[in-house]
Amino acid sequence: MITEIGHFALVLALALALVQMVLPVLGARRGDVAMMQVGEPAAVAQFAMVSVAFAALTYAYVVSDFSVKNVFENSHSAKPMIYKVTGVWGNHEGSMLLWLLMLTGFGAAVAVFGRALPDRMRANVLGVQASIAVAFGLFIILTSNPFLRLTPAPFDGQGLNPILQDPALAIHPPFLYAGYVGFSVAFSFAVAALIEGQTTAAWARWVRPWTLAAWMCLTVGIALGSWWAYYELGWGGWWFWDPVENASFMPWLAGTALLHSAIVMEKREALKVWTILLAILTFSLSLLGAFLVRSGVLSSVHAFAVDPERGVFILAIMVVFVGGSLALFAARMGALRQGGLFAPISREGSLVVNNVLLTTSCATVLIGTLYPLVLESLSGTKFSVGPPYFNATFVPLMIPLLMALPLGPALAWKRGDLAAAMQRLLASMILGLIAIVAAFAVLYRGPWLAPFAMGLGVWVMAAAVQELLVRSRFGEIGWRAAWARLKGMPSSAHGTAIAHFGVGLMVVGIAGVSGYKLEDTRAMTAKSSVSFAGYDITFEGVAPAKGPNYTERQGVFRVRDAAGGRVVTTLRPSQRVYRASRQTTTEAGIMATALGDLYLVLGEAKDNGSYTVKLYFHPLVRFIWIGAFIMFVGGLLSLSDRRLRIGAPRRARRREEKDAAVA
Amino acid sequence: MLRLLDQRARSLGRALVAVLMVVITVSGAYGVEPDEVLKDQALEQRARSLSAELRCLVCQNQSIDESNAPLARDLRLLVRERLKAGESDSEIRDYVVDRYGEFVLLSPRLGWQTLLLWFAPVLLLAGAFWLVRGLWRRPDVATAGGGGTPLSEAEAARVRELVGKGRRDGTEV
């Protein structure tokens, strides 16, 4: 019964979306306020209906209702409760419902928080947002309905893919989808602006918080995926340039560019046309990501042909939205008044450089990802484009970006002074150079790029801190006054510095793990020892263990400090076999230290009773994910500033007065 | 009806399996086995970097260096055999390509079919800067600021002083 309620609510949500797609836009056209006002309640009701549908499906999973086909195919009664819940989005149908939930959630948020928007703008934005919900609602109901029943109901389910039974991977999709789908708001704003045929600096101010929120979620989502791959896939890789990863990385790159170009539009009324185009492209890349992952076109062009229904549907969605918005863009581009010109050496100039490099790298990833597909379908030749290609093309584009990054915030608007900016950040530059020399001197091995990247990361981190210190005039005036100035700064300035610091930290981590990884492979018998990366590691033997729905073979490794002989920890890497599906997974044994991770993997048993053991030391690897989290925090701070300015203008003014009084 | 549904479910299942293969074949991978490692460290190093460029053909987007599939192991051993025989990296690469096709190379060789792939980043970057160029004002026009005479040093100092007073943190944000 509850499943049918969910099914019904989903259909109702689609009907509401249809109404919301048509009436407000028509109202905006005719100047009919009543029609325009349909948008807000429709958006909220639509979200409520999809929530009901999602809750109904979750309920079916929680009580293991195997008469629902989707539950039967993807769940099992012996599964721990948390994975029963996360299993809702651990499959195609459920994850599309999650996608729709997020999409309508963002739509409802625009309706609720967008009261300050001009009526016509809001009506158009909600209309466009609803049209996306219509497309995906139809997709779910027609091709991927999670509410279909099975008669007779089977006794037990087939079980969730064991790889998905993991805390990080359980929360990875919601963040990722919030990111993908959050960019739909920027898209809707862009299309609404094109429908109206005008944009103002205010448009950028409206779009920024939504873009920022989406970007933050995507950052965390990608980082979680990378972290999961690191500890789960069994050799400590954290990024593979896999097409599925690229699918999420492309909208991230474009979204990052969008965040920065929107600043220029807001402050200087320049880059209007470009920012609108970027908003369209960012969401288009999200749709492309959905298409690539959901259609199966990636594993091979032929896998797509096996079951083309869904792929063709998403492809159609893509063609309609990308093609339609770009056609509208081409038609209206002339009507948008371009902002003023500006000097290359200025804050806006630096943001343009940021955009050029980010979009070029995004396009490079796009070409690298699609090239083999296109070539195969055109000429039949099978080519691989793998990590060596992306490392050779992407990394060189990131180097100038990171070199220039700290200078941007140090340059003034309109007309900057490059020499003065460099002088201002001299200390950071020296720190970066010291890091390069130190990395060369201390480690004395690894690729030449690694120390250089290390120095770049330090330069970005140090400059982020120094920029704040210089601005609040630490050292010039008393520290108390300087502290007051630091606190009085708009929190978006703090957010920028913190996010940039996170970028630097991530670069240091990437340099560390890519350049200085240690690894060894041994055939070890019980009670044998190996000394590795400053540790004496004794293999005590293999012990069987049991989890709720799996059995495993744990290798027990006593880790001693090579210098003192003290036992530091015991690591238990294992091989798991899941009962329901008979699939095996590898669980690494990891010890995190300040300098890096000791990472052990238990391999196959050999005929002579020994085991293959892989030993790794991944220096600074955690900086990568900590850096991503710091970027998220920076975004959060910046977002809090936005809300003050947009949501409550009066309060912000009062605060400003108070700050002025303090200063 | 039921049979139709079942058939559909199965074909959907197959598609899903195809997608999930990405994950499944990747799991439990740990590459080089201890008995494969060459005694000569320099040679082993070359073997590792060569292996990282060669695709494991039965896996999804994995190099033979990372995979524990039997085929990957065979290829790793083959690479090491050839290295021991004293062949150069490019000779080995050519040999593997002759056997398995261009698909085996994770980084495609430059050829007329991959010309666009390899030159795309450079072309895109050049194109982007060419587009942006139109946006940039020449510095002298920028400083002239609409044709007025530039401020004298004393005037500039006075402006700085006045502007500095008015702002809270001495910078624009």
Nearest CA in chain A to B171: A471
Contacts of A235 in chain B (CB under 8 A): 29-31, 66
Averaged pLDDT for residues A378-399: 90
Sign (positive/negative) of CA torsion A40, A41, A47, A50?
Answer: negative
Answer yes or no: is pLDDT of A110 > 80: yes
Q: What is residue A128's predicted lDDT score, i.e. its pLDDT?
A: 95
How far from each other are the two terminal CA atoms of chain B, in whole angstroms? 66
Q: What is residue A78's predicted lDDT score, i.e. its pLDDT?
A: 85
Q: What is residue A342's predicted lDDT score, i.e. its pLDDT?
A: 74
Contacts of B66 in chain A (CB under 8 A): 235, 237
Sign (positive/negative) of CA torsion A261, A266, A267, A268?
Answer: positive
Nearest CA in chain B to A395: B121
Which of B33, B101, B102 is opposite residue A612, by nearest beta carbon?
B33
* Inter-chain touch A383–B129, beta carbons under 8 Å: no
Location of structure tokens 């929120």? A213
Identify the residue with better confidence: A393 or B169. A393
- Side chain identity at residue A364, one-letter code: T
> Which ranges constitute the DSSP H helices of A197-296?
201-232, 243-268, 272-295
Contacts of A92 in chain B (CB under 8 A): 16
The string of DSSP letters for A467-501 reads HHHHHTTBTTB-HHHHHHHHHHS-HHHHHHHHHHH
φ/ψ of residue B39, rounded to 5:
-70, -40
Q: What is residue A19's predicted lDDT score, i.e. its pLDDT?
A: 95
Helix H, strand E, coil C: the string for A604-641 is EECCCCCEEEEEEEEECCHHHHHHHHHHHHHHHHHHHH
In angstroms, rounded to a whole number, what is the distance separating the alpha carbons of residues A11 and B30? 47
Q: What is residue A645's predicted lDDT score, i.e. its pLDDT?
A: 53
φ/ψ of residue B63, rounded to 5:
-85, 160
In angstroms, rounded to a whole number, what is the distance separating the alpha carbons of residues A587 and A579? 16
Contacts of B52 in chain A (CB under 8 A): 387-388
Helix (H, G, I), strand (E, B) or coil at A571: strand
The CATH 1.10.8.640 portion of chain B extends over 2-104
Which of B20, B28, B55 is opposite residue A584, by nearest beta carbon?
B28
Average pLDDT over chain A, rounded to an integer: 88
Q: What is residue A311's predicted lDDT score, i.e. its pLDDT?
A: 83
Q: B161: Cβ–Cβ under 8 A, 6 or more apart, which residues?
A: none
Which of A307, A386, A492 is opposite residue B61, by nearest beta carbon?
A386
* Inter-chain touch A386–B139, beta carbons under 8 Å: no
Q: Chain A within 8 Å of B6 (Cβ-Cβ)? A: no
Q: How far is CA A490 from CA A24, A212, A299, A482, A609, in A?
A: 36, 16, 48, 14, 64
A596: left (phi over 0), alpha (psi -120 to 50) or beta: left
Of the listed ranges A428-437, A476-485, A639-648, the least confidently predicted one is: A639-648
* Inter-chain touch B34–A522, beta carbons under 8 Å: yes
- Chain segment A325-335, per-residue pLDDT in tens: 999 999 888 77
Q: What is residue A3's predicted lDDT score, i.e. its pLDDT?
A: 93
Contacts of B54 in chain A (CB under 8 A): none
Q: What is residue A440's predicted lDDT score, i.e. its pLDDT?
A: 86
Nearest CA in chain B to A308: B15
Q: What is residue A449's predicted lDDT score, i.e. its pLDDT?
A: 87
* Inter-chain touch A388–B19, beta carbons under 8 Å: no
- Chain segment A557-608, per-residue pLDDT in tens: 999 988 878 888 999 999 888 887 777 888 899 999 989 999 999 988 888 8
Which of B61, B106, B132 is opposite residue A352, by nearest beta carbon?
B132
Q: What is residue A233's predicted lDDT score, i.e. its pLDDT?
A: 77
Sign (positive/negative) of CA torsion B132, B134, B140, B141?
Answer: negative
Q: What is residue A356's predicted lDDT score, i.e. its pLDDT?
A: 93
Q: What is residue A357's predicted lDDT score, i.e. its pLDDT?
A: 95
Contacts of B27 in chain A (CB under 8 A): 163, 232-234, 583-586
β-pair type (A596-605, A518-524): unpaired
The residue ranges of chain B whose pLDDT is under 70 are 1-30, 136-150, 164-173
Where b means 16+ CB within 10 Å and e means fewer, A154-163 reads eeebbbbbbb
What superfamily in CATH does domain B2-104 come from? Answer: Cytochrome C biogenesis protein (1.10.8.640)
Q: What is residue A651's predicted lDDT score, i.e. its pLDDT?
A: 41
pLDDT interval class at A340 (50, 70, 90): low
Whole-model pTM: value is 0.88
* Inter-chain touch B18–A306, beta carbons under 8 Å: yes
Averaged pLDDT for residues A133-137: 95
Averaged pLDDT for residues A81-99: 90
Q: CB atoms < 10 A from the CB of A537, how many? A: 24
* Inter-chain touch B142–A244, beta carbons under 8 Å: no
- The domain spans of chain A are 2-394, 425-516+628-662, 526-609
Q: How near does any CA of chain A get to the CA of B118, in Å?
A: 8
